[in-house]
Amino acid sequence: GRGLRSLLVGYYEDGRLHYAGRVGTGFSTKGANDLKKRLDALTADASPFDAAVPKGKGLVWVRPELVGEVEFRSWTSDRIIRHA
């Protein structure tokens, strides 16, 4: 199987999951492998986001059950994260 390359992230507002961008993982090899195993157990048939997101090769959708913390510089005008 393929390794974990990046994550599509989002935030909840008014009960809806909004797309907020793509982030590199920043994990160690072990951390990335452990996270991939957890994500593999959450696969879904469709995007959980409330609107269309940029297409990408090899996207795998998951149920939005995990919460993480992402360091970023600021928000763009259309509420996408700007990387640190």
| Mean of pLDDT values over 77-82 | 93
Q: What is the mean pLDDT of the chain?
A: 91
Backbone angles phi, psi at 36, to 5 degrees: -60, -40
Task: Tell me, yes or no, whether 50 lies in a domain.
Answer: yes
Task: Tell me, yes or no, whether 31 lies in a domain.
Answer: yes
Q: Domain range spanning residue 20?
A: 6-79
Task: Tell me, yes or no, whether 84 lies in a domain.
Answer: no
Overall pTM surpassing 0.75 (yes/no): yes
Name the band, by pLDDT with cuts 50, 70 and 90, for residue 1.
low
Task: Tell me, yes or no, whether 1 lies in a domain.
Answer: no
Nearest CA-CA partner of 29 in 5, 8, 56:
5
**Per-residue pLDDT tens for 19-50?**
999 998 788 889 888 999 999 999 999 999 99
What share of the chain in percent tops pLDDT 90? 67
